[in-house]
Amino acid sequence: MSVVDSALVLRNELAEIPRLARWIAEFLETQGLGDDPSIVHDVQLCLEEIVTNIIKYAYAQEGPREIWVRLEYRPDALVAQVEDDGEPFNPLEHPRPDLSLGLAEVEPGGLGIELVREYMDDLSYHWNASEGRNCLRMVRRLAVSAA
């Protein structure tokens, strides 16, 4: 099984989001997935949402920090991993919003991770205590064509 991966280090600035989007698009294109709008949409939306939340909420103190993003292509899946050295926070433990309410009535917070839950097939989180990093892993399964 052939595995291809790429890594990107971002500054904790919203101005980095377009660079993230370009990197994702280029990676997917080189793997032959750039013409699949659902994959491009799902991966970009989820990574942009997670990185934006890290930039806005992860750091108690101001100042430059880094966010590490890794994409891995496997024939059956795309695996994305995002790491930051902000405050320990497991987004998967955040209370799920009540989507039966109208959008205007839903409490702020949690809608972004709910989108990530919707578009990704598998999510896992762990706190890497030795490096002081939040690690979120997201998997988007790919249809495997019969040979």
> pLDDT digit string (tens) for 98-146?
666 666 665 655 567 888 999 999 999 999 999 999 999 999 999 876 4
Rounded (5°) CA angle 97-56-43? 65
The amino acid at residue 102 is: G
What span, in angstroms and rounded, lies between the C-alpha atoms of 48 and 42?
10
User: What DSSP element (H or E) covers 116?
Assistant: helix 111-119
pLDDT at 112: 78
The amino acid at residue 20 is: L
DSSP string, 14-41: GGGHHHHHHHHHHHHHHTT-TT-HHHHH
What span, in angstroms and rounded, lies between the C-alpha atoms of 19 and 38?
20
Cα torsion 64, 111, 69, 6 to 10°: value is -150
pTM of structure: 0.88
pLDDT at 72: 98
Closest CA to 58 of 83, 27, 33: 83
**pLDDT at residue 9 greater than cutoff 60:** yes
pLDDT at 19: 98
> pLDDT digit string (tens) for 39-76?
999 999 999 999 999 999 999 788 899 999 999 999 99
In the chain, the largest separation of any two C-alpha atoms, in whole Å, equals 53
Question: Hey, what domains does the chain have and what are their CATH numbers?
Answer: 4-141 (3.30.565.10)
**Cβ count near 134 (within 10 Å):** 21
